[in-house]
Amino acid sequence: MSNTNYIGQSPKRVEDKRFTTGNGRYTDDIVLPNMTFAHFVRSPHAHAKIVSVDTSEALAMKGVVAIFTGQDMKKTGIVGVPAGWQVDFINGDRMKEPPHALLVWDKARHVGDGVAMVIAESRAAARDAAEAVVVEYDVLPAVVNAAKAVHDNAPLVHDDAPNNKAFDWTLGNPIGEVDAAIAACAHVTTLEFTNQRLSPNAMEPRCAIGNYDQYNEKYTLYTTSQNPHLTRLLMCAFVLGIPEHKVRVVAPDVGGGFGSKIFHYIEEAMVIWASKQINRPIKWTSTRTEAFLTDAHGRDHVTKAEMGFDKDGNVKALRVNTFANLGAYLSTFGPAVPTYLHGTLLQGLYTTPKINVKVTGVFTHTTAVDAYRGAGRPEATYLLERLMDKAALEMNRDPAALRFQNFIPPFDGVTQPGYVTQVALQYDSGNYGPVLERGLEMVGYENFRAEQAAARKKGKYLGIGFSTYIEACGIAPSAVVGALGARAGLYESAQVRVQPTGKVSVYSGSHSHGQGHETTFAQVVADKLGIPMSDIEIVHGDSEAVAFGMGTYGSRSLAVGGSAIVKSIEKVLEKGAKIAAFKLEAAVEDLEYANGKWTVKGTNKSIGFGDVALTAYVPHHYPAGLEPGLDFSSFYDPANFTYPFGCHIAIVEVDIETGKVKLNRFIAVDDVGNVINPMIVDGQIHGGLAQGIGQAMFEEVLYDDDGQLVNASYMDYTMPRADDLPMFETDRTVTPCPHNPLGVKGAGEAGCIGSTPAVVNAVMDALHPFGIKDLVMPMTPERVWRAIHG
Amino acid sequence: MIPSSFEYMRVSTVAEAIDALRHDTDAKVLAGGHSLIPAMKLRLSQPSKLIDISRIPALNFIRDRGKYIAIGAATTHGTIATHKTTVQKLPLLAHAASMIGDVQVRNMGTIGGSIAHADPAADWPAVLLAAGATIVVEGSTGVKKIPASEFFVDFFTTQLGEGELITEIHVPEPTVGTYRQAYAKFVQPASRFAIVGCAIQFELKDGVISNAHVAYNGVLACAFRDAAVESSLNGQPLTEATIENAASKAGAGSNILSDNFASAPYRAHLTKIYTKRALQSCLA
């Protein structure tokens, strides 16, 4: 590799020096002078009237600075935190969007709802005083299941949302056409299931520091956010009504988010608001229990899905009806996840001509549900891929062959148009056969069925499961999402500032919280500018440093944020060429740029990037009419989503005496478009696989009928661990994205989107001799054992 | 972690620890802290004082005293898993210790702490029952030796009295060659504590089983030996048929625990399966 040819290489991650030595700087590491500490009094009940809140004893305790209650917040007129996406009812009625108060004063609507904020000189004093706040509750019946919450007699979460419906929504072909197509099918495969609720479990719990500077009338919020600018916009414009230019939001090192740190949370608004009241900085750090109770959860769909086939096994129709649990309040992207990130993916990789999906968004007395790694797309993939394997078993077809038969034919999106789906998307480029072919080759499918039969004779129950998925990421064209109800644009910004010495500072609106942007983005810049990576600094996460940003989620950072960087680099090189041409006394058209220098074609006359940068800032001898400086900003709004796809194959062994499932092998062949850093992409895939497999085998947020979250600890909520997983066998095909300058599609969520149904399909394949056709996730030992033993 | 406030004192002798306990009945003994600290974090436990015994040299040892091996109460699981004496002379204990938690837990958690806490799912109680261990307890009134079979009483409840400290665990050395031992467990996937653990020790002379100890953890409120399973083994040859018969007797009790990971019927079933698996591992 030449020293500036960085794209496609796997340099070690720049950020790991500080992370692996414990020297990252997270929000909780920040200590401000005169800082106070907050602890929230939270409802222990899922649904209760707040009769009274008595803070007198707590206020008298040592070290207590202030206590704010729901009644205090009611007096401010602050309505609460809004949703960031509006999905109206099919009949045109507006989405029900009951306010999510910063502290509730009338009713608590889920366990963990904020009732009061106690501020003290130390964390311990705040917590001690919080225990002394006496709240009298009138406990009311609760409902936690979305399908039950729509019943007429179900307790209401919000009085103005009848049947607990926030919206209902449909997409695809008219239901009459789909009903007719299904009725005409030779075979219909049906699945009724719950895609269970998950807790996101970022390693770093949420944390927020609010600091009001009375002399400059400025606020600073340090927060664990995936998108500090979006948080600033929401908090300033829609929650607190404070001037945006007087608010700085900083998201320093952030230890994982998986979606849960996209959203603007009440604690962020409270520390900012209260810091002005007490004129001191306030830090709030979530405990792990609070993280389980208040970080937005993921999934939680109750779905019926039917897939119809003709006698030859061609998919002819798909009908899906989902009740999506939104929790007690609409979180930032809550309404978008089960609709535009779920319904739109139901074409999958197949040529299904008729598709209809209906989704009912439902309030329950539970923690809000929002985007969690994959966000809607895992739910769509799960139902499609479970249907495919189940249909293959029912029709006595090979599940791989059934998929090959139904794949959309290849298209590159350049010479051939993108594929227009029945559910509102146009896929960018795709070549789906090769990922499954490669997967079959890696797994040794030819021999597997014989091995499986031989193993069964010895009492060993092996199973194989497939998942061939597509997802839509690189979120998103602003005009498209705006038309679909988004209240924000989804472009990205980047500034490339060349310093006088030729060193480069890049200011990105993307936010790295584990993804390795400081490495990948630097590789892109180094490669395009032909300079060493060590000459490049990536700056992100500070609204005062970065012009604007939409942040990191939806596998968008490289496809959107990286493209914005490329646009700014192009501007740098365009201006640099003018300066170089002047210095070299040549025409711009006669120059070529390579390896960090402009050369007059066919000569050895050249000028380096550093010399041009210095000239731009010391413009003594300089082109007339050209501005000094070498510093460009760009906003990049993508033309389309990007559509990674792939094939995941699981092989499991079920211990039929105990019901325990062991994942023996996992093969993942993903196509994420062009790859900048293969090591980082592998890491993203591995992490995604672990979370997707976690859903299939281990994870589930459990509420009892009273709305208590009964497994809110790591003693009770099963996270996948390294020793639960085999060594992943991964490979890639490369189908470049035709509409962004890097040709990249996104890798952050693919592993999580594709893997879950592969594991469940494998378990079902293993259990086929017992006549078991479906089990709800996760595949816990007792559940599997009960299925086997009736 | 934000526990309620407490005093902390580190003691360097057993006498100091017992004295401190006598003066503060709300005090708790801290050794590895792997049960106590999580409870304090959630404020389920709010001791007035922590008496840190982890650096008392007299509680941290493994010594061969001829008829038995003595293990100091503050010895970590990790030490028991790897110490030459336990590995060679008490392989059941070394093996069981190596299966507790993870490396970090084993490097902090102690055997005395575990049995004083008496979590029904903890490994040590069943293993010490199978091994025929004796718990040595010291208080202001002197030293008591309590057989493991009498020590565990109920959920998180033992014969350890107020103001008393576990100082040593005495484990008779099985005669190598004629004894067979095993510990097998089915773990709860989140906590990795046992849903069912089965610890077994028996003598095998001329192919015939005698002196069988079969003990369980995770199944009832506290670890216990199952006489029905033991009597089905004693006097029988070590064969698959004997194993099947013994396993069929297991898990017969009432009051079997039930939780989100394992209902009572499933736990009872696992008790049979893990009895079988533990015994089968003795066939080799």
Query: How far is Cα B227 from Cα A481, in angstroms, rounded to an integer?
Result: 69
> Would you call A782 and B2 a contact, using CB atoms and an 8 Å cutoff?
no
Q: What are phi and psi of A339, to 5 degrees?
A: -105, -85
Q: Let me know if residue B214 belongs to a domain.
A: yes
- Are B9 and B50 in contact by the 8 Å Cβ rule? The answer is yes
Examine the pLDDT at A1 and tell me if it is beyond 60. no
> Would you call A782 and B273 a contact, using CB atoms and an 8 Å cutoff?
no
End residue of a domain, out of B134, B149, B172: B172
Shared-domain flag, residues A558 and A667: no
The CATH number assigned to the domain holding B153 equals 3.30.465.10
Q: Let me know if residue A535 belongs to a domain.
A: yes
Kindly provide the residue ranges of all beta strands, DSSP E only, lying in chain B, ordered along the sequence: 7-10, 27-30, 49-52, 62-64, 68-72, 134-139, 142-147, 152-154, 157-158, 165-172, 179-187, 194-205, 208-217, 224-225
> Would you call B186 and A658 a contact, using CB atoms and an 8 Å cutoff?
yes
Confidence grade of residue A96 (pLDDT, cut at 50, 70, 90): very high
Question: Quick one: which of A574, A552, A660 has its CA closest to A224?
Answer: A552
How many domains does chain B contain in total?
3
How many domains does chain A contain in total?
3
Number of A:B CB contacts under 8 A? 49
Shared-domain flag, residues B121 and B147: yes
Shared-domain flag, residues A702 and A775: yes
> Would you call A658 and B261 a contact, using CB atoms and an 8 Å cutoff?
no
- Mean pLDDT across chain A, nearest whole number? 97
Task: Look up tokens 């799912």; give the residue.
Answer: B121
**Chain B interface disruption, residue of A715, A723, A783, most B CBs within 10 A:** A715
The CATH number assigned to the domain holding A246 equals 3.90.1170.50
Question: Quick one: which of B89, B113, B91 has its CA closest to B101?
Answer: B113
Shared-domain flag, residues B70 and B161: yes
Shared-domain flag, residues B121 and B190: no
The CATH number assigned to the domain holding A617 equals 3.30.365.10
Query: Chain B: nearest CA to A717, how far in angstroms?
Result: 6
Examine the pLDDT at A589 and tell me if it is beyond 70. yes
Residue A790's pLDDT is what? Answer: 81
Q: What end-to-end distance do the CA atoms of chain A give, in Å?
A: 61
Q: Which residues of B touch A698 (CB under 8 A)?
A: 189-190
Domain, as residue range, for B40: 7-52
Q: Let me know if residue A752 belongs to a domain.
A: yes
Shared-domain flag, residues A511 and A439: no
- Burial string for A299-327 (b: 16+ CB within 10 Å, else e) reads bbbbbbbbbbbeeebbbbbbbbbbbbbbb
> Would you call B191 and A716 a contact, using CB atoms and an 8 Å cutoff?
yes
Q: Which residue of A has its CA nearest to B42?
A: A289
CA distances from A536 to A531, A569, B150 (A): 8, 12, 69
> Would you call A717 and B190 a contact, using CB atoms and an 8 Å cutoff?
yes
Shared-domain flag, residues A712 and A649: yes
Q: Which residue of A has its CA nearest to B189?
A: A718
Q: pLDDT per residue over A271-305, tens digit each? A: 999 999 999 999 999 999 999 999 999 999 999 99
Integer-rounded Cα Rg, in Å, for chain B is: 19
3-state SS string for A444-493: CHHHHHHHHHHHHHCCCEEEEEEEEEECCECCCCHHHHHHCCECCCCCEE
Tokens describing residue A467: 């998942």
Other beta carbons less than 10 A from residue A537's beta carbon: 16
Task: Look up tokens 């001690």; give the residue.
Answer: A128
Q: Let me know if residue A307 belongs to a domain.
A: no
3-state SS string for A540-583: ECECCCCCCCCCCCCCCHHHHHHHHHHHHHHHHHHHHHHHHHHH
- Are B134 and B146 in contact by the 8 Å Cβ rule? The answer is yes
Q: Let me know if residue A212 belongs to a domain.
A: yes
> Would you call A716 and B260 a contact, using CB atoms and an 8 Å cutoff?
yes
CA angle B20, B22, B24 (to 5 degrees): 70
Give the bridge partners for B9, in sequence order: B51
Query: How far is Cα A560 from Cα A162, in angstroms, rounded to an integer?
Result: 40
Examine the pLDDT at A414 and tell me if it is beyond 70. yes
Shared-domain flag, residues B190 and B273: yes
Shared-domain flag, residues A458 and A507: no
- What is the torsion angle, in degrees rounded to the nearest 10, for the CA atoms of residue A475, residue A479, residue A483 and residue A487? 70
Other beta carbons less than 10 A from residue A56's beta carbon: 10
Shared-domain flag, residues A573 and A720: no
Strands in A114-120's sheet, in edge-to-edge order, are A64-69, A114-120, A36-42, A282-285, A207-213, A218-223, A247-250
End residue of a domain, out of A636, A669, A685: A636
Shared-domain flag, residues A57 and A79: yes
Q: Let me know if residue B212 belongs to a domain.
A: yes
Q: Which residues of B touch A128 (CB under 8 A)?
A: 4-5
Query: How far is Cα B284 from Cα B273, in angstroms, rounded to an integer?
Result: 18
Examine the pLDDT at A496 and tell me if it is beyond 50. yes
Shared-domain flag, residues B98 and B143: yes
Half-sphere exposure of A131 (CA within 13 A, CB side): 10
Q: Let me know if residue A736 belongs to a domain.
A: yes
Shared-domain flag, residues A627 and A768: no
Shared-domain flag, residues B64 and B84: yes
Query: Chain B: nearest CA to A542, how far in angstroms?
Result: 29
Q: Let me know if residue A346 belongs to a domain.
A: no
Confidence grade of residue A3 (pLDDT, cut at 50, 70, 90): low
Shared-domain flag, residues B160 and B68: yes
Q: pLDDT per residue over A135-192, tens digit each? A: 999 999 999 999 999 999 999 999 999 999 999 999 999 999 999 999 999 999 999 9
Q: pLDDT per residue over A630-666, tens digit each? A: 999 999 999 999 999 999 999 999 999 999 999 999 9
Q: Which residues of B touch A39 (CB under 8 A)?
A: 2
- Are B249 and B225 in contact by the 8 Å Cβ rule? The answer is no
Q: Which residues of A touch B263 (CB under 8 A)?
A: 782
- Are A198 and A302 in contact by the 8 Å Cβ rule? The answer is no
The ipTM assigned to this model is 0.96
Examine the pLDDT at A4 and tell me if it is beyond 90. no
The CATH number assigned to the domain holding B21 equals 3.30.43.10
Residue B177's pLDDT is what? Answer: 73
Local structure of A205: helix, strand or coil = coil
Low-confidence ranges of chain B (pLDDT < 50): none
User: β-pairing, B208-217 with B157-158?
Assistant: unpaired
Q: Let me know if residue A628 belongs to a domain.
A: yes
Q: Which of B189, B262, B266 sits opposite A698 (nearest CB)?
A: B189
Shared-domain flag, residues A467 and A503: no
Confidence grade of residue A129 (pLDDT, cut at 50, 70, 90): very high
Q: Let me know if residue B2 belongs to a domain.
A: no
Shared-domain flag, residues B189 and B263: yes
- Are A84 and A148 in contact by the 8 Å Cβ rule? The answer is no
Domain, as residue range, for A646: 380-473+640-788
Q: Which residue of A has its CA nearest to B41?
A: A287
Q: Let me know if residue A303 belongs to a domain.
A: no
Residue B253's pLDDT is what? Answer: 82
Shared-domain flag, residues B77 and B136: yes
Shared-domain flag, residues A657 and A580: no
Q: Which residues of B touch A660 (CB under 8 A)?
A: 186
Shared-domain flag, residues A660 and A765: yes
> Would you call A711 and B190 a contact, using CB atoms and an 8 Å cutoff?
yes
Query: In the predicted model, what is the mean pLDDT of residues A470-479?
Result: 93
End residue of a domain, out of B144, B172, B200: B172
Q: Let me know if residue B1 belongs to a domain.
A: no
The CATH number assigned to the domain holding B213 equals 3.30.390.50
Give the DSSP H/E element, type plus range, for residue A696. Answer: helix A678-697
Shared-domain flag, residues B234 and B165: no
Shared-domain flag, residues B63 and B151: yes
Shared-domain flag, residues A626 and A646: no
Give the bridge partners for A667, in sequence order: A649, A729
Examine the pLDDT at A503 and tell me if it is beyond 70. yes
CA distances from A393 to A411, A460, A659 (A): 30, 20, 22
Shared-domain flag, residues B67 and B135: yes
Residue B176's pLDDT is what? Answer: 67
**Chain A interface disruption, residue of B1, B2, B277, most A CBs within 10 A:** B2
Residue B179's pLDDT is what? Answer: 92
Query: In the predicted model, what is the mean pLDDT of residues A716-728?
Result: 97
